[in-house]
């Protein structure tokens, strides 16, 4: 009997070791570390000023598009490209022009062409002509309160550019650059402290946090948050995403780095990558539900379909992505929103709900 138990134990360990595991591998510390994870990001020597500059650049790009739509004037691809690459003096804020930051250089170089395509396409899109299938132009909501500029297949230019950079720049930098071993691995200096920046490893981690769009006091306070931090806060009541991304993510990781805890650091990385994706997917479901509810308001339908589509597209930047469910959902939505049906939306929602195990909350998303 003892031999049989031993055999089963060995067999169990064998199957366990051979199972697929997409998570970042953890190199256990010889001794468990004990320390306190704070409630906010008010650590010593935090600096993510580069990320704040990049976000200001994106905000000016967004303002250029929204003001052009409001004032019914053309949008220049040349100016957008100059903003993207920080060439010349394209920004109203002169300090941005003189900075060394470039959205283009920080964007995944395999996806810069995706963003630049929309710069070129928006260049000859009329801000006065009503859009239709295969015709660029504006869509106005039934209550006349909102106006959106869409391309020939009904995708909203502003969201494709802005939220496209949330994925191709922000998520890419967090998931593939600043949480990689090239930035926070064992060979990165975590001893030499530079005043205002901390160690090199601490500084790299702080820059990852900078792309989240949160303030130092988040999630204790949610004033002035934006981008994915705002999306996380919106989903928090149902999915506890603030805890998963902050307490078990950015806060835990910085505290782990402070205490030379590599196990805690890699656990935090896994939580950030996984739950940033969860925020994108669950928010996409939310947008899809609004698109279906407002299906007869063409402007709102296209606005929300675009929001869902580009957030799902952004999941690709997680190297530990939850399979290809987002691609299946995108296929159901389709590439031409003028042809997207309520049934297509339902199918996309079903794929995402099942993939992310959201059956218990799907009615409230």
Within a domain: 91: yes
Within a domain: 340: yes
Per the structure, the count of domains in the chain is: 1
Within a domain: 254: yes
Judge whether residue 126 has pLDDT over 50.
yes
Domain that holds residue 212: 49-364
Within a domain: 329: yes
The token pair that represents 27 in the structure block: 């190199």
The token pair that represents 72 in the structure block: 């019914």
Please report, rounded to a whole number, the percentage of residues in the chain having pLDDT higher than 90. Answer: 90
Within a domain: 17: no
Within a domain: 157: yes
Judge whether residue 17 has pLDDT over 60.
no
Residues 220-233: pLDDT tens digits? 999 999 999 999 99
Within a domain: 125: yes
Q: How much is the mean pLDDT over the chain?
A: 93
Within a domain: 110: yes
Read off the pLDDT band of 156 (50, 70, 90). very high
Please report, rounded to a whole number, the percentage of residues in the chain having pLDDT higher than 70. Answer: 91
Q: Exposed, middle or buried by CB within 10 Å (0-12, 13-18, 19+), for 325?
A: middle
Residues 170-191: pLDDT tens digits? 999 999 999 999 999 999 999 9
The string of DSSP letters for 248-264 reads IIIHHHHHHHHTT-HHH
* Beta carbons within 10 angstroms of residue 197's beta carbon: 17
């Amino acid at each position: 009997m003892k031999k049989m138990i031993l055999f089963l134990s060995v067999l169990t360990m064998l199957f366990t070791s051979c199972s697929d595991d997409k998570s970042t591998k953890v190199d256990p510390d010889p001794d468990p570390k004990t320390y306190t994870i704070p409630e906010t990001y008010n650590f010593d020597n935090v600096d993510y000023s580069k990320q704040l500059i990049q976000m200001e650049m994106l905000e000016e790009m967004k303002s250029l598009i929204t003001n052009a739509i409001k004032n019914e004037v053309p949008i220049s691809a040349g100016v957008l490209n100059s903003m993207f690459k920080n060439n010349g003096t394209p920004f109203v804020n002169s300090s941005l022009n003189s900075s060394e930051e470039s959205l283009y250089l920080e964007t995944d170089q395999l996806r810069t062409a995706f963003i630049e395509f929309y710069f070129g396409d928006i260049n000859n899109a009329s801000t006065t002509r009503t859009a239709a299938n295969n015709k660029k132009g504006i869509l106005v909501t039934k209550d006349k309160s909102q106006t959106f500029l869409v391309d020939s297949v009904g995708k909203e230019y502003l969201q494709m550019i802005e939220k496209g950079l949330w994925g191709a720049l922000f998520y890419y930098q967090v998931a593939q650059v600043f949480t990689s071993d090239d930035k926070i691995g064992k060979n990165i200096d975590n001893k030499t402290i530079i005043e205002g920046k901390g160690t090199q490893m601490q500084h790299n981690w702080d820059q990852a946090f900078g792309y989240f769009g949160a303030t130092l006091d988040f999630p204790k306070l949610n004033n002035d948050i934006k981008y994915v931090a705002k999306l996380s806060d919106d989903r928090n009541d149902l999915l506890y995403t603030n805890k998963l991304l902050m307490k078990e993510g950015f806060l835990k990781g910085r505290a782990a780095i402070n205490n030379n805890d590599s196990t805690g650091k890699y656990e935090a990385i896994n939580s950030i990558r996984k739950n940033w994706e969860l925020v994108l997917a669950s928010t996409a479901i939310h947008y899809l539900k609004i698109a279906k509810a407002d299906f007869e308001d063409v402007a709102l339908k296209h606005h929300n379909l675009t929001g869902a589509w580009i957030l799902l597209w952004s999941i690709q930047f997680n190297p530990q992505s939850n399979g290809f469910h987002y691609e299946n959902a995108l296929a159901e939505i389709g590439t031409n929103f003028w042809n997207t049906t309520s049934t297509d939306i339902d199918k996309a929602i079903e794929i995402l709900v099942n993939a992310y195990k959201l059956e218990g909350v799907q009615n409230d998303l």
